[in-house]
Amino acid sequence: MLPLGFLGWIIIGGLAGWAGSKIMGTDEQQGILMNIVVGVLGGLVGGMILGLLLDVNSGGWIFSFVTCLLGAILLLWIYKAVKGRTT
């Protein structure tokens, strides 16, 4: 299986960030660039967390998407929790 390149992470991260923002109800507040950032950062966070439990390097595109999605949802949940306390 080929590893994901830079463009692959941008595409998967953007899709995962968009899906995560839809699930968390923050899509109206974010643009495409922020969806990509949240998805890619979510991939890093999700990869670190799932890396403790599973072998994340052997997963394919779908596993990478799910990892990014779970990380994006976690990041957006934390953001909403912090934002909710300050306002």
With cut-offs at 50, 70 and 90, classify the pLDDT of residue 87. Answer: low
With cut-offs at 50, 70 and 90, classify the pLDDT of residue 9. Answer: confident
Domain residue spans in the chain? 8-80
37 contacts: CB under 8 Å, gap ≥ 6:
13, 17
In the numeric block, the tokens 């596993």 are attached to 63
4 vs 77: which has the higher pLDDT: 77
43 contacts: CB under 8 Å, gap ≥ 6:
9, 12, 13, 16, 64, 67, 68, 71, 72
**Ramachandran angles phi, psi of 4, nearest 5°:** -75, 135
75 in Cβ contact with 47 (< 8 Å): no
- Residue-wise pLDDT for 27-79, tens only, equals 777 788 888 888 888 888 888 888 888 876 677 788 888 888 999 999 999 98
pLDDT of 39 reads 86
